[in-house]
Amino acid sequence: MVLRVNDTTMADLETLESAKSVENKPITFPVPVDKRSRVAGKLRYWWCWFVAASLLLAVGAPDLLFTSLINKRTWLYPVALWGARTWLGACGAKVKVKGLHNLDPNANYVFVSNHRSYLDTATLFAFTGRRMGLVAKKELLKVPVLGQGMGFVNIIAIDRTDPERALASMEKARDVIKAGYSFGIFAEGTRAMPGQLLPFKKGAFHLALQVGVPIVPVAIKNTDVMMGKNSGVAHAGEVEMVLLPPITTSRRTAAEVSDLLMQARAEIMRELARG
């Protein structure tokens, strides 16, 4: 099996230095031919969204109202955590986490992950073993209940088309980390198509430098063949999330942001290349 990155093969990416030499450009990994029933996939896909809507309306809305009335916004976090795990289970996703031993239980981190599926967000939020905030696209603010509750659990909407608003969002993220939370960011800025790794943006790395916390590269696998972008289908399967060794930001400067980006991307690339 060959990974095509210009003339770079999967064997070439067995070493970190080889992976770091690959430019910050789109990469396509091999994707197996899907022989599963599209009818069954369509049914599961709509079932996933029915469950999501039911959880928001039946559980999220009452809890959002209650925690607002008693001014206990943080009480919504365990509900959101339960909701993320429940939704993944309803979609037939079993999550396998590797690399938890790489994390200091008393430390906060900026988790930098690849992104190929809606399943990634719930996985990163619920299975790192950390209370964490996330960056989400601004369109989610329009979703009833979810949009109103995002701020309660430190999910920050970012408008990448407006530099001033994007900057304000990152300032909120700094406040979240300083309050004792970790933070998760999908560095590509959007979902990639199945098998793809898109160029990384620098925001997550600036954030980690500014607050002085380590960066944890995260490789999320299999979600693209379970609920890939633009596929319109969903299939049961195992999500594998690999938490790679943290990259320290101490004694690093803003001039080294690109180096941090390429190091994290190389780690994720090498893990994805393992299949």
Q: What would the mean pLDDT of 98-115 be, rounded to a whole number?
A: 96
Residues 6+ apart with CB under 8 A from 68: none
Quote the tokens at residue 54.
Answer: 């039911």
Percent of the chain with pLDDT over 70: 89
Nearest by Cα to 178 from 149, 203, 147, 154 = 154
- pLDDT for the residue numbered 14: 59
| Percent composition of the chain: helix, strand, coil (DSSP 3-state, to 5) | 50, 20, 35
Q: According to the model, what pLDDT value does residue 153 have?
A: 86
Q: Average the pLDDT over 218-243 and give the result.
A: 97
In contact, 261 and 70? CB cutoff 8 Å = no
Alpha helices by DSSP H, the chain: 16-20, 38-55, 61-69, 76-90, 118-127, 146-149, 163-178, 203-211, 223-227, 257-273
Q: Is the pLDDT score of 113 beyond 70?
A: yes
pTM across the whole model? 0.90
Domain 27-273 maps to which CATH number in 1.10.10, 3.30.110, 3.40.1130, 3.30.420?
3.40.1130
Instruction: Please state, as a whole number, how many other Cβ atoms lie within 10 Å of the Cβ of residue 11.
Output: 11
For the chain, the structural domain boundaries read: 27-273
Would you tell me how many other CB atoms lie within 10 Å of the CB of residue 157? Answer: 19
How many alpha carbons lie under 13 Å from residue 231 in its C-beta half-sphere? 29
Q: Is the confidence at residue 16, as pLDDT, over 80? A: no
269 — pLDDT class (breaks 50, 70, 90): very high
Whole-angstrom CA distances from 135 to 13, 27, 205 are 29, 23, 13
Q: Is the pLDDT of residue 158 over 80?
A: no
The pLDDT score that the predictor gives to residue 123 is: 97
- CB 204 within 8 Å of CB 188: no
Dist CA 174 CA 73 (whole Å): 19
